[in-house]
Amino acid sequence: MNAPEVLDVGQDAILTMLKMSTPVMMISLGVGLVIALFQALTQIQEMTLTFVPKILAIFLSLILLFPFMLSTLGTFTEEMFGKIAGGG
């Protein structure tokens, strides 16, 4: 395996990781912005008000997006095994 093939594998791994994590991070960002706006409007500065809804939103999004994540990771794994079996 030469340097360009290693870079291709690394690039594929990074893109797969971003494809799997971006939806969850965007949901977390959206919930965080809504909570921050609510806190700014009501002047309630409770720390648990920020963490609990974000954790619940992340867990719910992981449950809902699990089939997408599993298929994405499965596709990446099949491609990697195909490259290994093909000798690079």
pLDDT of residue 88: 60
pLDDT of residue 72: 96
Range of the domain at 59: 3-85
Confidence of residue 84 (pLDDT cuts 50, 70, 90): confident
pLDDT of residue 45: 83
CB atoms within 10 A of CB 49: 15
What 3 state SS string does the chain have? CCHHHHHHHHHHHHHHHHHHHHHHHHHHHHHHHHHHHHHHHHCCCCCHHHHHHHHHHHHHHHHHHHHHHHHHHHHHHHHHHHHHHCCC
What is the count of structural domains for the chain? 1
